Structure 1
Amino acid sequence: MAETRDRITLTGVRVRAHHGVFDFERAEGQDFVIDVSVAVDLAAAASADALDRTVHYGELAEAVVAAVERDPVDLIETVAERVAAVALGFAAVEEVEVTVHKPEAPITVPFADVSVTIVRGRA
Protein backbone atom coordinates (compact mmCIF):
# COMPACT_ATOMS: atom_id res chain seq x y z
CA MET A 1 0.00 0.00 0.00
CA ALA A 2 1.30 3.46 -0.87
CA GLU A 3 2.04 5.88 1.96
CA THR A 4 -0.91 8.13 2.72
CA ARG A 5 -0.07 11.81 2.67
CA ASP A 6 -3.60 12.96 3.53
CA ARG A 7 -4.08 14.06 7.12
CA ILE A 8 -6.74 15.29 9.50
CA THR A 9 -5.27 17.37 12.31
CA LEU A 10 -6.67 18.58 15.63
CA THR A 11 -4.49 21.22 17.26
CA GLY A 12 -4.67 22.58 20.78
CA VAL A 13 -7.35 20.33 22.28
CA ARG A 14 -7.44 21.41 25.96
CA VAL A 15 -8.23 18.86 28.63
CA ARG A 16 -8.22 19.26 32.41
CA ALA A 17 -6.82 16.08 33.96
CA HIS A 18 -4.94 14.77 36.97
CA HIS A 19 -1.80 13.18 35.51
CA GLY A 20 1.62 13.60 37.06
CA VAL A 21 4.16 12.14 39.42
CA PHE A 22 3.48 14.52 42.31
CA ASP A 23 0.55 14.31 44.71
CA PHE A 24 -0.44 17.94 44.10
CA GLU A 25 -0.71 17.28 40.35
CA ARG A 26 -3.06 14.40 41.03
CA ALA A 27 -5.11 16.39 43.57
CA GLU A 28 -5.34 19.77 41.81
CA GLY A 29 -5.17 18.69 38.19
CA GLN A 30 -3.88 20.84 35.36
CA ASP A 31 -4.47 21.58 31.71
CA PHE A 32 -3.01 19.35 29.04
CA VAL A 33 -2.98 20.38 25.39
CA ILE A 34 -3.21 17.67 22.77
CA ASP A 35 -2.33 17.79 19.07
CA VAL A 36 -3.41 14.80 16.98
CA SER A 37 -2.75 14.25 13.31
CA VAL A 38 -4.11 11.13 11.64
CA ALA A 39 -3.12 9.78 8.25
CA VAL A 40 -6.27 8.90 6.33
CA ASP A 41 -6.84 8.33 2.62
CA LEU A 42 -9.26 11.17 1.94
CA ALA A 43 -9.73 10.59 -1.80
CA ALA A 44 -12.81 8.38 -1.49
CA ALA A 45 -14.47 10.71 1.02
CA ALA A 46 -13.78 13.75 -1.13
CA SER A 47 -14.93 12.19 -4.40
CA ALA A 48 -18.21 10.93 -2.89
CA ASP A 49 -18.60 13.83 -0.42
CA ALA A 50 -19.22 11.08 2.15
CA LEU A 51 -18.57 11.45 5.86
CA ASP A 52 -18.62 7.68 6.33
CA ARG A 53 -15.47 7.39 4.19
CA THR A 54 -13.33 9.55 6.46
CA VAL A 55 -12.78 10.20 10.17
CA HIS A 56 -15.36 12.46 11.81
CA TYR A 57 -13.06 14.95 13.51
CA GLY A 58 -15.70 15.84 16.09
CA GLU A 59 -15.90 12.22 17.20
CA LEU A 60 -12.11 12.00 17.19
CA ALA A 61 -11.87 15.09 19.41
CA GLU A 62 -14.40 13.69 21.88
CA ALA A 63 -12.58 10.36 22.01
CA VAL A 64 -9.25 12.11 22.63
CA VAL A 65 -10.71 14.16 25.49
CA ALA A 66 -12.27 11.06 27.07
CA ALA A 67 -8.95 9.22 26.84
CA VAL A 68 -7.02 12.04 28.51
CA GLU A 69 -9.63 12.59 31.24
CA ARG A 70 -9.78 9.00 32.42
CA ASP A 71 -7.67 7.35 35.13
CA PRO A 72 -4.57 9.35 36.09
CA VAL A 73 -1.09 8.15 35.18
CA ASP A 74 2.37 9.42 36.05
CA LEU A 75 3.75 10.17 32.58
CA ILE A 76 2.60 12.21 29.62
CA GLU A 77 4.24 9.50 27.53
CA THR A 78 1.54 7.15 28.79
CA VAL A 79 -1.15 9.70 27.95
CA ALA A 80 0.26 9.99 24.42
CA GLU A 81 0.17 6.20 23.95
CA ARG A 82 -3.43 6.15 25.15
CA VAL A 83 -4.45 8.86 22.69
CA ALA A 84 -2.64 7.10 19.85
CA ALA A 85 -4.49 3.86 20.60
CA VAL A 86 -7.83 5.69 20.57
CA ALA A 87 -7.06 7.33 17.22
CA LEU A 88 -5.98 4.00 15.70
CA GLY A 89 -9.34 2.64 16.81
CA PHE A 90 -10.92 4.57 13.94
CA ALA A 91 -10.92 2.17 10.98
CA ALA A 92 -9.75 4.70 8.40
CA VAL A 93 -6.69 5.82 10.40
CA GLU A 94 -3.46 4.36 9.07
CA GLU A 95 -1.03 6.29 11.29
CA VAL A 96 -1.25 8.84 14.08
CA GLU A 97 1.06 11.50 15.46
CA VAL A 98 0.24 12.68 18.97
CA THR A 99 1.81 15.53 20.91
CA VAL A 100 0.90 15.97 24.56
CA HIS A 101 1.80 19.38 25.96
CA LYS A 102 2.05 20.01 29.70
CA PRO A 103 2.34 23.81 29.92
CA GLU A 104 1.98 23.84 33.73
CA ALA A 105 4.64 21.20 34.39
CA PRO A 106 6.36 21.54 37.76
CA ILE A 107 9.71 22.79 36.50
CA THR A 108 11.85 25.20 38.53
CA VAL A 109 13.11 27.28 35.59
CA PRO A 110 11.14 29.56 33.26
CA PHE A 111 9.73 27.66 30.27
CA ALA A 112 6.99 27.95 27.67
CA ASP A 113 6.00 24.32 27.24
CA VAL A 114 6.95 20.70 27.82
CA SER A 115 5.71 18.08 25.39
CA VAL A 116 6.21 14.58 24.10
CA THR A 117 5.44 13.47 20.55
CA ILE A 118 4.92 9.92 19.37
CA VAL A 119 4.07 8.41 15.98
CA ARG A 120 2.26 5.08 15.79
CA GLY A 121 0.86 3.08 12.91
CA ARG A 122 -1.04 -0.10 12.35
CA ALA A 123 1.00 -3.20 13.10
Structure 2
Amino acid sequence: MSEELDRLRLSGLRARGFHGVLEHERREGQDFVVDVELGLDLGEAGRSDALADTVHYGELAEALVAVVRGEPLDLIEALAERLARVCLAEPRVRRAEVTVHKPQAPIPHAFDDVAVTIVRRNEKEAGGDPREQA
Protein backbone atom coordinates (compact mmCIF):
# COMPACT_ATOMS: atom_id res chain seq x y z
CA MET A 1 0.00 0.00 0.00
CA SER A 2 1.49 3.31 -1.02
CA GLU A 3 -0.50 5.69 1.18
CA GLU A 4 0.56 6.49 4.73
CA LEU A 5 -1.91 5.32 7.37
CA ASP A 6 -2.92 7.04 10.57
CA ARG A 7 -2.35 5.02 13.72
CA LEU A 8 -4.42 4.16 16.76
CA ARG A 9 -2.41 2.55 19.55
CA LEU A 10 -3.53 0.64 22.65
CA SER A 11 -0.59 -0.29 24.89
CA GLY A 12 -0.17 -2.29 28.06
CA LEU A 13 -3.56 -4.04 28.04
CA ARG A 14 -3.33 -6.67 30.78
CA ALA A 15 -5.36 -9.84 31.19
CA ARG A 16 -4.91 -13.21 32.84
CA GLY A 17 -4.82 -16.19 30.51
CA PHE A 18 -3.96 -19.86 30.59
CA HIS A 19 -1.70 -20.09 27.55
CA GLY A 20 1.50 -22.12 27.42
CA VAL A 21 2.80 -25.60 26.80
CA LEU A 22 3.54 -26.44 30.44
CA GLU A 23 0.89 -27.96 32.68
CA HIS A 24 1.28 -25.36 35.43
CA GLU A 25 0.77 -22.53 32.89
CA ARG A 26 -2.55 -24.06 31.90
CA ARG A 27 -3.55 -24.76 35.49
CA GLU A 28 -2.45 -21.57 37.27
CA GLY A 29 -2.50 -19.06 34.44
CA GLN A 30 -0.42 -15.92 34.18
CA ASP A 31 -0.70 -12.32 33.12
CA PHE A 32 -0.26 -11.33 29.48
CA VAL A 33 0.28 -7.81 28.22
CA VAL A 34 -0.96 -6.80 24.77
CA ASP A 35 -0.01 -3.83 22.61
CA VAL A 36 -1.81 -3.15 19.35
CA GLU A 37 -1.22 -0.52 16.73
CA LEU A 38 -3.88 -0.16 14.10
CA GLY A 39 -3.31 1.45 10.73
CA LEU A 40 -6.38 3.21 9.40
CA ASP A 41 -7.64 6.50 8.02
CA LEU A 42 -8.71 8.74 10.91
CA GLY A 43 -9.49 11.71 8.68
CA GLU A 44 -13.26 11.32 8.81
CA ALA A 45 -13.24 10.99 12.61
CA GLY A 46 -11.08 14.08 12.86
CA ARG A 47 -13.49 16.07 10.71
CA SER A 48 -16.74 14.74 12.17
CA ASP A 49 -15.75 14.33 15.84
CA ALA A 50 -18.02 11.27 15.81
CA LEU A 51 -17.21 7.98 17.54
CA ALA A 52 -18.96 6.15 14.71
CA ASP A 53 -16.17 7.29 12.36
CA THR A 54 -13.33 5.60 14.24
CA VAL A 55 -12.52 2.39 16.11
CA HIS A 56 -14.04 2.36 19.60
CA TYR A 57 -10.93 1.49 21.60
CA GLY A 58 -12.95 0.58 24.69
CA GLU A 59 -14.87 -2.07 22.77
CA LEU A 60 -11.66 -3.21 21.09
CA ALA A 61 -10.02 -3.64 24.52
CA GLU A 62 -12.96 -5.76 25.71
CA ALA A 63 -12.71 -8.00 22.64
CA LEU A 64 -8.95 -8.43 23.04
CA VAL A 65 -9.24 -9.26 26.74
CA ALA A 66 -11.91 -11.85 25.93
CA VAL A 67 -9.42 -13.58 23.60
CA VAL A 68 -6.63 -13.55 26.19
CA ARG A 69 -9.00 -14.94 28.84
CA GLY A 70 -10.50 -17.40 26.38
CA GLU A 71 -9.51 -20.75 24.94
CA PRO A 72 -5.95 -21.69 25.96
CA LEU A 73 -3.27 -21.92 23.30
CA ASP A 74 0.21 -23.38 23.45
CA LEU A 75 2.05 -20.47 21.84
CA ILE A 76 1.88 -16.70 22.22
CA GLU A 77 2.38 -16.61 18.45
CA ALA A 78 -1.05 -18.23 18.07
CA LEU A 79 -2.51 -15.83 20.62
CA ALA A 80 -1.11 -12.88 18.67
CA GLU A 81 -2.68 -14.27 15.49
CA ARG A 82 -6.11 -14.46 17.14
CA LEU A 83 -5.75 -10.93 18.48
CA ALA A 84 -4.80 -9.64 15.03
CA ARG A 85 -7.97 -11.20 13.57
CA VAL A 86 -10.03 -9.31 16.16
CA CYS A 87 -8.34 -6.05 15.15
CA LEU A 88 -8.81 -6.68 11.44
CA ALA A 89 -12.50 -7.46 11.95
CA GLU A 90 -12.97 -3.72 12.42
CA PRO A 91 -13.95 -2.51 8.92
CA ARG A 92 -11.79 0.63 9.06
CA VAL A 93 -8.59 -1.20 10.06
CA ARG A 94 -6.21 -1.87 7.18
CA ARG A 95 -3.18 -2.98 9.21
CA ALA A 96 -2.70 -4.42 12.70
CA GLU A 97 0.54 -4.78 14.60
CA VAL A 98 0.10 -6.95 17.69
CA THR A 99 2.64 -7.58 20.41
CA VAL A 100 1.98 -10.17 23.10
CA HIS A 101 4.21 -9.96 26.17
CA LYS A 102 4.61 -12.91 28.52
CA PRO A 103 6.48 -11.37 31.46
CA GLN A 104 6.08 -14.47 33.66
CA ALA A 105 7.35 -16.94 31.06
CA PRO A 106 8.88 -20.06 32.60
CA ILE A 107 12.52 -19.14 32.09
CA PRO A 108 14.91 -20.12 34.92
CA HIS A 109 16.94 -16.90 34.58
CA ALA A 110 16.32 -13.25 35.29
CA PHE A 111 14.73 -11.47 32.33
CA ASP A 112 12.58 -8.43 31.68
CA ASP A 113 10.17 -9.70 29.05
CA VAL A 114 9.39 -12.24 26.38
CA ALA A 115 7.28 -10.95 23.50
CA VAL A 116 6.26 -11.68 19.94
CA THR A 117 5.14 -9.09 17.44
CA ILE A 118 3.21 -9.82 14.28
CA VAL A 119 1.97 -7.51 11.54
CA ARG A 120 -1.08 -8.37 9.49
CA ARG A 121 -2.98 -6.47 6.81
CA ASN A 122 -6.58 -6.57 5.80
CA GLU A 123 -6.76 -9.17 3.02
CA LYS A 124 -8.12 -6.60 0.57
CA GLU A 125 -5.03 -4.46 1.16
CA ALA A 126 -2.50 -7.31 1.05
CA GLY A 127 -3.66 -8.92 -2.15
CA GLY A 128 -5.22 -11.92 -0.39
CA ASP A 129 -2.40 -12.74 2.04
CA PRO A 130 -2.89 -11.17 5.49
CA ARG A 131 0.75 -11.68 6.45
CA GLU A 132 2.93 -8.67 5.79
CA GLN A 133 6.23 -9.52 4.20
CA ALA A 134 9.16 -7.94 6.02
Query: Shorter chain as normaliser: what TM range?
Result: over 0.9
CA RMSD of aligned residues (A): 1.0
Q: Structure 1-normalised TM-score?
A: 0.97
- Report the TM-score, using the length of structure 2 for normalisation: 0.89
Q: Once the 2 structures are TM-superposed, how far is the Cα of residue 4 of structure 1 from its aligned partner? A: 3.6
Letter of the 2:104 counterpart: E
- Residue 71 of structure 2 aligns to which amino acid in structure 1? D
1:40-119 matches, cutoff 5 A: 40-119=40-119
Equivalents in 2 of 1:27, 1:4: separation in Å? 44
1:24 alignment partner in structure 2: 24
Shift of 1:2: 4.4
Q: How many residues align?
A: 123
4+ runs deviating over 6 angstroms: none
* Cross-structure match for 1:15: 15
Residue 32 of structure 1 aligns to a residue whose secondary structure is strand
Matched AA of 2:122: R
CA distance in 2, matches of 1:51, 1:33: 26
From the superposition, tell whether residues 58 and 67 of structure 1 become closer, same or farther in structure 2 (CA, over 3 Å). Answer: same
Deviation at 1:5, TM superposition (A): 2.5
Q: Where in structure 1 are there 5+ consecutive unaligned residues?
A: none
